Structure 1
Amino acid sequence: MTTEPREPRATDVLTGLLADLRAESAVLDDLVAGLAPEGWAADTPAAGWTIAHQIAHLAWTDDWAARSVRAPEAFTTETARSFGELLAAGLDPVDEGAARGAAEEPAALLARWRAGRDGLLTALAAAPGDARLPWFGPPMKAPSMATARLMETWAHGQDVADALGAVREPTARLRHIAHLGVRTAGFAFSLHGQPAPETPVRVELTSPDGELWTWGPADAADRVTGPALDFCLLVTQRRHPDELALTAAGATATAWLPIAQAFAGNPGKGRAAGA
């Protein structure tokens, strides 16, 4: 007797995502755990941000994410108040959060990031499956929140790795980031004042172990192809498009790649070639 394979349950998907988020966080933790104080002050490719700023930003964002899960109404009220005050003072909330954290002693910052990370994992594991959690962009369910946190952890981890001259081994966890990058294509166009494209795009990416990851109709004329790592570097704006082995065919695909972003918020400036 044979049975059809069942679709993964939502709880299975979330459990897997949280395990991958924990694993991605551990990779970054290994990079910074043994740094001397002067190492925390090293500049990263993000202008004005040191390694301390990168970790402080993740701690800040994890804290807001945990608030969104635990008290969504309070999250909405508090972000409106807190962000409003900072913006009225001419301060960028994201930069201000990173700057305040970077001013801490490295050991205290590291401990706070670790504690907040563990707290967020616990909160997401207990989140109602169908609840839409408020965020700085569109509201999202717990699996999407976990994916977004994994994407940011990987992206800011890339900044830290670049600052240290370290090379991280790409893993199958990139699939989550690539999936987010594909799903946010319409969002990227809207951020640039353009309507979401109606033309379907086929995305074919080669995974770190040689597997082919695909999205979109197989017969779509518009296509994006290349290594999954390069696509993830593109949609997190960690490399200039000219430095990546990605190929776009068709008007929509060609227009998408220069503006692609997998993160919420205003369009990023991206990285200059050679940065």
Structure 2
Amino acid sequence: MPDPSAVAVFADLHEEGRELDALVGELTVPDWARPTPAPGWSLAHQIAHLHWTDRAALLALTDATAFAGLVEEAVKAPDTFVDAGAEEGAALAPAELLARWRAGRAALDEAIAEASPGAKFPWYGPPMKAASMASARLMETWAHGQDVADALGVRRVPTDRLRHVARIGVRARDYAYAVRRLAAPAEQFRIELTAPGPTGSAEVWAYGPEDATQRVTGPALDFCLLVTQRAHRADLALTADGPDAGRWLDIAQAFAGPAGPGRAPGTSR
């Protein structure tokens, strides 16, 4: 029997894709060329990138040999393979790109649901179980969905699906240091994030030891925007207690790969 928590992740991934689909599904052809906050990327590039990565995840779950071929391509062109994949999809007619993205999402949803719960599948980083794969896809769908929303001038309503993004951001703390060739602090941090909900909601998502001296507090939405580099720290209501916690907020990232430049102050939301 599938783990109920994993089934919930799968459902959340499906819903995150559906919500983004509602933003782009009725766009006119010229709208797809709108620039987004990612330099050189239009709305079409954003959806093309998600489709490209969904396809990679599908192959990781269903065809390890084919996925190994994708890894070889990435090794040959580590600085350009992501942009190249987005460029290829963005060159399609918008209707064709939208249809392919929708079909790819449906196929990935099915493959994730049918995957053996205990099996680990290859990825560009460490192998992952299906539930972790779903969480990672949700995080990226949400992050690129923010780029789309910003380009369209839409303010999205945050949901409790952000708990998956927040959890990845917390767990990736040491990776943020490693990718910059910095030593991570030995002490674990305490992170307390106010969950999305009605004004006055007392729900807090907490991570790390309660007695930690290095602490981060603030809205979960702001933390998720920070770790996906969709907003500059100066524009967010996050508080760091302790120098190590403060340094982490300057470099935090939830995604694999090189550290990006992020957004400039005053350009977010």
Does the alignment reach a TM-score above 0.5? yes
What residue number does 2:132 align with? 144
Match of 2:221 in 1: 229
Q: Which residue among 69, 74, 97 is the counterpart of 1:83?
A: 74
Match of 2:11 among 16, 19, 32: 19
Cα drift, residue 86 of structure 1: 4.3
> How much has 1:74 moved relative to structure 2?
3.3
The residue type paired with residue 89 of structure 2 is G
Partner amino acid, structure 2, of 1:66: L
- In the alignment, is the contact (CA less than 8 A) between 1:24 and 1:154 conserved in 2? yes
* 2:98 maps to which of 73, 92, 110: 110
Check conservation: 1:62, 1:117, Cα contact below 8 A.
yes
Residue equivalent to 1:213: 205
- Equivalent positions of 1:59-138 (< 5 A) are 59-76=51-68, 78-86=69-77, 92-138=80-126
Contact residue 71 and residue 124 of structure 2 kept, 8 A:
no
Judge conservation of contact 2:61–2:111 (CA < 8 Å) in 1: yes
Counterpart residue number, 2:46 = 54
Q: 1:243 aligns with which of 235, 244, 253?
A: 235
Q: TM-score, normalised by structure 1?
A: 0.92
* Runs (5+) with no aligned partner, structure 1: 1-8
Say if 1:136 and 1:265, in contact at 8 Å, map to a contact too: no
2:262 — aligned with what? 270
- Provide the alpha-carbon RMSD of the alignment: 1.3
Aligned-pair CA distance for 1:227:
0.3
Would you say 1:202 and 2:186 are equivalent positions?
no
Shift of the 204–10 alpha-carbon distance from structure 1 to 2, 3 Å rule, reads farther
SS of residue matched to 1:182: helix
Partner of 2:169: 181
How high is the TM-score relative to the length of structure 2?
Answer: 0.94
**Is contact 2:169-2:227 (8 Å) kept?**
yes
Shift of 1:138: 2.0
The alpha-carbon deviation at position 195 of structure 1 amounts to 2.5
Query: Which runs of 4 or more aligned residues in structure 1 lie more than 3 Å from their structure 2 counterparts after TM superposition?
Result: 84-87
CA distance in 2 between partners of 1:41 and 1:248 (Å): 39
Match 1:260 to one of 252, 260, 268: 252
- Take 1:159 and 1:124, find their aligned partners in 2: how far apart are those partners? 26
Secondary structure of the structure 1 residue equivalent to 2:216 = strand
> Structure 1 residues 57-66 or 251-260, which shifts more?
251-260
Distance 1:72 1:197, change over 3 A: farther
Residue type at the aligned position of 1:176 = H
Bigger Cα displacement from structure 2, 250-259 vs 114-123: 250-259
Number of aligned residues: 263
1:165 aligns with 2:165: no
Distance 2:177 2:24 in 1: 35
Match of 1:3 in 2: none
State the secondary structure of the residue aligned to 1:226.
strand
AA in 1 matched with 2:52: W
1:169-206, Cα deviation, whole Å (9 max, x unpaired)? 10010111101100010111111112232111000000
The answer to whether 1:29 aligns with 2:21 is yes
- Determine the structure 1 residue equivalent to 2:178: 190
SS in 2 for 1:252: helix
1:10–1:192 distance in 2 versus 1, CA, 3 Å: farther
Confirm or deny that 1:41 pairs with 2:40: no
Residue 71 of structure 1 deviates from its aligned partner by: 1.8
Q: Secondary structure, in 3 states, of the residue corresponding to 1:261?
A: coil
